[in-house]
Structure 1
Amino acid sequence: MRKYKCISQSVFSTENFHIEPIRDSDKYEIMTIRNEQLYHLRQEKLLTLEDQDTYFNTVVKNLFEVNFPSQILFSFFKNNLFIGYGGLVHINWKDKNAEISFVMKTELEKEFLKENWSSFLKLIENVAFQELDLHKVSTYAFDVRPHLYEIFEQNGYKKEAVLKEHVIIESQYIDVVIHAKLNVKK
Structure 2
Amino acid sequence: MGREYRVLKKQVFTNGLFQIVPIRDKDQLDIMKWRNEQIYHLRQNKPLTEQEQRNYFSNTISNLFNQDQPNQILFSYLEGDTCIGYGGLVHINWVDRNAEISFIMNTELEKDNFEKHWSIYLNLIEEVAFEELQLHKIYVYAFDLRPHLYTVLELNGFIKEAELKEHCYFNDAFKSVIIHSKWNKL
TM > 0.5: yes
TM-score by length of 2: 0.98
In structure 1, the gaps of 5 or more residues are none
- The residue number in structure 1 matching 2:103 is 102
- The residue number in structure 1 matching 2:26 is 25
* Equivalent-residue separation in structure 2 for 1:150 and 1:65 (angstroms): 36
- The residue number in structure 2 matching 1:7 is 8
Deviation, 1:16, is: 1.4
Aligned counterparts, 1:171-182, within 5 A: 171-182=172-183
Deviation, 1:26, is: 0.2
Which deviates further from its counterpart, 119-128 or 7-16? 7-16
2:87 is aligned with 1:86: yes
Residue type of the alignment partner of 1:81: T
* Equivalent-residue separation in structure 2 for 1:43 and 1:88 (angstroms): 17
2:46 is aligned with 1:34: no
* Equivalent-residue separation in structure 1 for 2:171 and 2:63 (angstroms): 34
* Equivalent-residue separation in structure 2 for 1:33 and 1:94 (angstroms): 32
* Equivalent-residue separation in structure 2 for 1:37 and 1:168 (angstroms): 17
- The residue number in structure 1 matching 2:128 is 127
Deviation, 1:168, is: 1.5
Identity %: 54
2:60 is aligned with 1:44: no
In structure 2, the gaps of 5 or more residues are none
RMSD, aligned α-carbons = 0.6
* Equivalent-residue separation in structure 2 for 1:61 and 1:79 (angstroms): 24
Structure 1 runs of 4+ with >4 Å offset: none
Equivalent residues, number: 185
TM-score by length of 1: 0.98
2:108 is aligned with 1:115: no
Deviation, 1:80, is: 2.8
